[in-house]
């Protein structure tokens, strides 16, 4: 977010290494709409890979690399590691916040179904108020 804010005042682009959580689950609707509203898009990205370090107990972390810019060309590059260990690059029209080629869609958390049904609670366990005794 700081890079997007900075770039609104000074023409620039930014790239960063971050844990892959910024492109998964609840983090996406919190972070990426704020970046996209500044006019920035993902210029290139490397999908999740293990980041190893030289620590004695090598704390492996899964990370992504994301580059953002507000002055994009028509082609974006999406890097990934295949099962063989080879890094491949795809040229795509758009990279979304989930680091896949596609439109900028964001999945929001939904507490109540749109069709009037009762929500599913406790991780898929139907709960009726604690009155059912077996």
Dihedral class, residue 33 (left if φ above 0, else alpha if ψ from -120 to 50, else beta)? alpha
- Render pLDDT for 24-43 as a digit per residue (tens, 0 to 9): 988 999 999 999 999 889 99
Look at residues 76, 107, 72 and name the one whose alpha carbon lies nearest to residue 93: 76
What φ, ψ does residue 14 adopt, rounded to 5°? -140, 155
**Cα distance between residue 45 and residue 88, in whole Å:** 12
pLDDT at residue number 51: 84
Are the CB atoms for 62 and 69 separated by under 8 Å? no
What is the spatial distance between Cα 65 and Cα 51, in angstroms, rounded to a whole number?
Answer: 11
- Coil, strand or helix at 4: helix
Q: What is the pLDDT of residue 74?
A: 86
Asked whether the beta carbons of 97 and 47 are under 8 A apart, the reply is no
Q: pLDDT for 57-107, tens place per residue?
A: 777 789 999 999 988 788 999 999 999 989 999 999 999 999 999 999 888
The DSSP call for residue 66 is: E
Count Cβ atoms below 10 Å from residue 16 Cβ, excluding itself. 13
Any idea which of 3-7, 69-73, 125-129 has the lowest mean pLDDT?
125-129
Instruction: Give pTM, 2 decimals.
Output: 0.76
Distant-in-sequence, close-in-space partners of 98: CB < 8 Å, separation ≥ 6:
23, 24, 28
**Contact (Cβ atoms closer than 8 angstroms) between residue 95 and residue 65:** no
């Amino acid at each position: 977010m700081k890079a997007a804010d900075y770039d609104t005042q000074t023409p620039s682009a930014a790239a960063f290494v971050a844990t892959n959580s910024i492109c998964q689950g609840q983090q996406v609707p919190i972070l990426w709409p704020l970046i996209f509203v500044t006019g920035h898009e993902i210029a290139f990205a490397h999908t999740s890979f293990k980041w190893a370090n030289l620590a004695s107990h090598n704390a492996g972390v899964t990370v992504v690399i994301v580059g953002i810019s507000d002055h994009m060309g028509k082609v974006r590059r999406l890097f990934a590691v295949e099962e063989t260990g080879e890094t491949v690059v795809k040229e795509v029209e758009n990279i979304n916040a989930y680091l896949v080629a596609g439109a900028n869609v964001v999945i929001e958390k939904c507490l109540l179904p749109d069709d009037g049904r009762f929500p599913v609670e406790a991780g898929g366990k139907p709960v009726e108020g604690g009155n059912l005794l077996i």
